[in-house]
């Protein structure tokens, strides 16, 4: 069977019978309505095992947050789904189809990615950045058409970035750049959105804005969201499901409010938490012991 994180050379087809058997076997194991199925995924860098036998199913339209301490393997998990990292063991399916069966352009039509804020900033305009999100829908010799411009306009409108369209990225705040990156991912019109620490480096105002945008994308547009985050409180509020990693292994997988127990949180983070009543009701606010 094919390895879902194995290298794939563009333009070189897998043997037809091998690919057919792989597709049939993996589709039989996929859960109906699932957007992402990960089975037995392990990944090493040198001798260090970063991921250890990960099993995760993300249903179509679900909002799943991946939490855990630093070095738990959260970002590595996203990069395996994106095929940025290759060479692991196990299987990954996207909408029931093996990851190995996708050409990169095909995968980009299904999966969009928003990396962590705070990286290198290039002097593109916001419009140009968002237009780049249309690359999976364009061939090397095709021109940008009305459909592409319409997708860019919708993405800018949804993220509230219309007035920044002609600003260059290096003139924006961190929160504004993060919203521009989300707009580029939306212009891609993928059915799955992968997020790596979407609220990191943002001030409270922009955190609230980005949080609201992501909730709206998920609930109104039914885009499947798989988000890596260190913010446990936001994960509980936004997610239908939480998947927790510690030292590369899964230590919790279940409903978001299922982590609201100290025995579960201590297993994830190695520390206990205080539970405070939320001023507007709903789930309690979590504060680690020692930060009272």
Contacts of 183 (CB under 8 A, 6+ apart): 126, 129, 130, 133, 155, 156, 158, 159, 161
Inter-residue contact 97 to 138 (CB < 8 Å): no
User: Residue 162: inside a domain, yes or no?
Assistant: yes
- Does residue 246 form part of some domain? yes
Tell me how many domains the chain contains. Answer: 1
DSSP-H helix ranges across the chain: 16-29, 74-81, 104-110, 126-132, 146-159, 174-187, 204-221, 232-238, 262-269
For residues 22 and 101, the answer to whether their CB atoms sit within 8 Å is: yes
Q: Is 157 within a domain?
A: yes
The answer to whether the beta carbons of residues 237 and 209 sit under 8 Å apart is no
Identify the pLDDT of residue 210. 87
Instruction: Provide the CATH number for the domain around residue 168.
Output: 3.40.50.300
Structure token pair of residue 225: 């969201």
Query: Residue 57 in contact with residue 36, Cβ under 8 Å?
Result: yes
Number of DSSP helices (H) and strands (E) in the chain, helices first? 9, 12
d(Cα 198, Cα 204) in Å, to the nearest integer?
A: 13
Q: What is the pLDDT of residue 25?
A: 38
Does residue 186 lie in a domain region? yes
Burial of residue 264 (CB within 10 Å: 0-12, 13-18, 19+) is: middle
Element (H, E) at 242: strand 241-246
Tell me whether residue 79 is in a domain: yes
Q: Among 52, 35, 67, 54, which Cα is nearest to 244's?
A: 67
Confidence (pLDDT) at 54: 97
**Rounded mean pLDDT for each run of 10 residues along the chain, 292 residues in total:** 41 34 37 85 93 97 96 95 92 95 93 82 91 88 87 92 95 90 94 92 85 90 94 92 97 95 95 89 86 70
> Quick one: angle between helices 146-159 and 204-221, nearest 10?
130
Q: What does the pLDDT read at residue 28? A: 37
Token duo for residue 207: 């955190």
- In whole angstroms, what is the distance from residue 65 CA to residue 228 CA? 6
Taking the C-alpha atoms of residue 245 and residue 80, their distance in angstroms, rounded to an integer, is 15
pLDDT at 206: 84
Q: Whole domain around residue 139: which residue ranges?
A: 16-259
For CA atoms 213, 218, 219, 220, give the dihedral sign: positive
| Phi, psi of 264, rounded to the nearest 5 degrees | -75, -50
């Amino acid at each position: 069977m094919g390895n879902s994180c194995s290298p794939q050379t563009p333009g070189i087809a897998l043997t037809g019978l091998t690919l057919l058997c792989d597709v049939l076997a993996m589709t039989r194991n996929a859960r109906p309505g699932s957007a992402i199925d990960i089975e037995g995924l392990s990944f090493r860098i040198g001798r260090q095992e970063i991921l250890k036998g990960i099993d995760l199913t993300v249903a179509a339209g679900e909002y799943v947050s991946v939490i855990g301490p630093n070095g738990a393997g959260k970002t590595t998990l996203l990069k395996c789904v994106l095929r940025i990292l290759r060479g692991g063991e196990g299987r990954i399916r996207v909408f029931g189809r093996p990851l190995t069966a996708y050409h990169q352009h095909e995968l980009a039509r299904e999966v969009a990615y928003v990396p962590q804020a705070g990286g290198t900033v290039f002097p593109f305009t916001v419009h140009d950045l968002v237009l780049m999100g249309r690359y999976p829908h364009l061939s090397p010799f095709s021109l940008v058409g009305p459909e592409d411009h319409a997708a860019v306009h919708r993405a800018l409108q949804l993220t509230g970035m219309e007035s920044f369209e002609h600003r260059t990225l290096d003139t924006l705040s961190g929160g504004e750049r993060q919203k521009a990156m989300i707009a580029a991912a939306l212009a891609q019109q993928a059915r799955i959105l992968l997020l790596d620490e979407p609220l990191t480096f943002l001030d409270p105002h922009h955190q609230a804005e980005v949080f609201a945008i992501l909730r709206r994308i998920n609930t109104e547009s039914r885009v499947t969201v798989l988000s890596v985050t260190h913010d446990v409180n936001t994960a509980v509020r936004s997610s239908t499901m939480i998947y927790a990693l510690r030292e590369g292994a899964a230590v919790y997988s279940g409903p978001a409010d299922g982590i609201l127990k100290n025995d579960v949180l201590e297993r994830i983070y190695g520390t206990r938490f205080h539970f405070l009543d939320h001023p507007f009701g709903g789930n309690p606010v979590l504060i680690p012991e020692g930060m009272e």
